[in-house]
Amino acid sequence: TGVIRTALHNMDREAREHYSVVIQAKDMAGQVGGLSGSTTVNITLTDVNDNPPRFPQKHYQLYVPESAQVGSAVGKIKANDADTGSNADMKYTIINGDGSGVFSISTDKETREGILSLRKPLNYEKKKSYTLNIEGANTHLDFRFSHLGPFKDVTMLKVIVGDVDEPPLFTMPSYVMEVYENAKIGTPVGTVTAHDPDAANSLVRYFIDHNTEEDRYFTIDASTGTIKTAKIFDREETPWYNITVAASEIDNPGLVSHVPVGVRILDVNDNPPELARDYDVIVCENAKPGQVIQTITATDKDNSANGARFHFSLDEGLSLNPNFTLRNNEDNTASILTRRRRYSRSTQDIYYLPVLISDGGVPPLSSSSTLTIRVCACERDGRVRTCHAEAFLSSAGLSTGALIAILLCIVILLAIVVLFITLRRSKKEPLIISEEDVRENVVTYDDEGGGEEDTEAFDITALRNPSAAEELKYRRDVRPEVKPLSRHHPSSSLDSIDVQEFIKQRLAEADLDPSVPPYDSLQTYAYEGHRSEAGSISSLDSATTHSDQDYNYLGDWGPEFKKLAELYGEIEPERTT
């Protein structure tokens, strides 16, 4: 075997990391005539922590504006280490200096840099610079090379604070003020104070941010910062208000700072006490004198400092009540007691007891309430059996089930009456006849006639006899109030008159008839005039006869008769292609 050994003492990876060695092997113990072979061996030196970290400079300087935010990174610093991997890992710390409480430093493991951060806000007007001693030390030490140490280095960092035009600074981070309710508008509540922290010390202007409705309840003096009321407050309605006051420099209005202000509304005894609830007081008919029938309490909208102590009494302006009395229990409650034995519902079933309640506020307030006491029948153990309303029903002999049955019968009878009226209205014949039926009577026949030549199937003399139309037809939609005039005429005159003259006569009669309504109506006459000399216009037998009549004049009548002209004339219909 061949063993490769180092030929130099204290080989340094940082000086040379890679070596290439050619190895030759010969047989026959290396004698002449033997065969040989060679190979190349690449040797890499591994790293050990034998190089301490070193800062490139012993003094550094950093500029940080006073407006830098707390927690933000303000600078970086790095110490160099010739080693690699974990042997180059290090940790940065601030070992001393006047800025150790203002700044902090952390290590970026990837870049092995120290990140300097701000722990407290800077103020140029108070301190313009800080000095920090920063140490960088290896975290993985190899004690074989401790004699090469120490494996750390220290540098000095001077931080210069930059002056920035800052917004006004309030003397307190928040304010709490108090004002009594019912105070007049314009009453001072308190004052806020702010100043310009810069060396210029510019004047400050105050105003209220009107972002909410509560901000409109107060005003502020722009010069002094005094807050005043803008309305009359009621503590029982709103006991607390929160507003935001802003301050800005007059020379630079864009720099604005804000502060929260809380206003507590103090209580004034302005609400009289009242009963805690509506009491339903019951006294039994068999009650004994001095028996407690009810314990009452009171409430007050004011706080405990103005009226927590209540005093109960009967109205002294009234005469002594012979039925009931009141005892003040001195614990904000009172008891109602009976003053006599036995009460009768038949004699009096309801009693009224006025109660006067006063508080212990300054000034004291009082109110009067009236208790309603009902007389009821009770068992011997005091349980209520029945009161006046239920006793009245029992005396009448009607139970709850009987009342329900009576009410049910009444509802059924009402339903029958409504149904009967509805059916009668639905069967009533309408006064106005259908618009489609314009004649007095419509009779439908399923028999087909024999045509215009058939004169035997139907007697048309009735149509040609004007006397058949003399029968008076009354309108169905109007009831005549005046008797119509007589329309009888000699039959000889009607037989010789034509249709036009006949219609004119009937029209004149209708106009002079006082029974005819003053609106348009349809007059129907069963009368047919004499036969026309032109003959029938029927086309039933036109298919079998030839007509020499010229219908070409229909084409001159316009587009409305175009189709008729095509059917009877010689005009060729237009064709579209």
Q: What is the pLDDT, as a whole number, of residue 533?
A: 58
Is residue 392 pLDDT above 70, yes or no?
Answer: no
Among 2.60.40.60, 1.10.260.30, 3.40.50.920, 2.40.50.1070, what is the CATH number of 169-266? 2.60.40.60
Q: What is the mean pLDDT of residues 506-513?
A: 79
Half-sphere exposure of 51 (CA within 13 A, CB side): 20
Q: What's the CA gap between 204 and 196, in Å, rounded? A: 7
- The confidence band for 363, taking pLDDT boundaries of 50, 70 and 90, is confident
Phi-psi region of 286 (alpha: psi -120 to 50; beta: other; left: phi over 0): alpha
3-state DSSP assignment of residue 317: coil
| Least confident range of 22-31, 277-286, 360-369, 457-466 | 457-466
Is residue 575 pLDDT above 70, yes or no?
Answer: no
Answer whether the bond into residue 322 is a cis peptide, omega within 30°. Answer: no
| Least confident range of 190-199, 251-260, 455-464, 550-559 | 455-464
The one-letter amino acid at 14 = E
The one-letter amino acid at 145 = F
Structure confidence by residue, pLDDT tens digits, 402-456: 888 899 999 999 999 999 998 888 765 555 555 555 455 555 656 666 665 555 5
What global pTM score does this model have? 0.45
Percent of the chain having pLDDT more than 90?
Answer: 33
Structure confidence by residue, pLDDT tens digits, 13-62: 888 888 888 888 888 777 777 888 889 999 888 888 888 899 999 999 99
| Least confident range of 289-293, 436-440, 548-552 | 436-440
In three state form, how does the secondary structure of 12-29 look?
CCCCCCEEEEEEEEECHH
* Architecture of the domain defined by 274-386: Sandwich (2.60)
The one-letter amino acid at 326 = L
Q: What's the CA gap between 521 and 432, in Å, rounded? A: 13
> Is residue 129 within 8 Å of residue 161, measured between CB atoms?
yes
Phi-psi region of 303 (alpha: psi -120 to 50; beta: other; left: phi over 0): beta
Q: What is the pLDDT, as a whole number, of residue 576?
A: 42
- Helices (H), ranges, 444-527: 461-464, 491-495, 499-512
Q: Which tokens go with 192?
A: 């806020």
Between residues 469 and 270, the one the model is more confident about = 270
∠ Cα 565 566 571 (to 5°) = 95
Q: What is the pLDDT, as a whole number, of residue 455?
A: 58
* Architecture of the domain defined by 59-162: Sandwich (2.60)
Residue 265: partners with Cβ closer than 8 Å, 6 or more residues away: 178, 179, 180, 181, 233, 234, 235, 238, 239, 240, 241
Residue 252: partners with Cβ closer than 8 Å, 6 or more residues away: 165, 202
Q: What is the pLDDT, as a whole number, of residue 448?
A: 64
> Is residue 119 within 8 Å of residue 70, measured between CB atoms?
yes
Structure confidence by residue, pLDDT tens digits, 167-186: 899 999 999 999 999 999 99
Q: What stretch(es) of the chain map to CATH 2.60.40.60?
A: 59-162, 169-266, 274-386
CA dihedral sign, ordered 401, 403, 409, 411: negative
Q: What is the DSSP letter of 269?
A: S
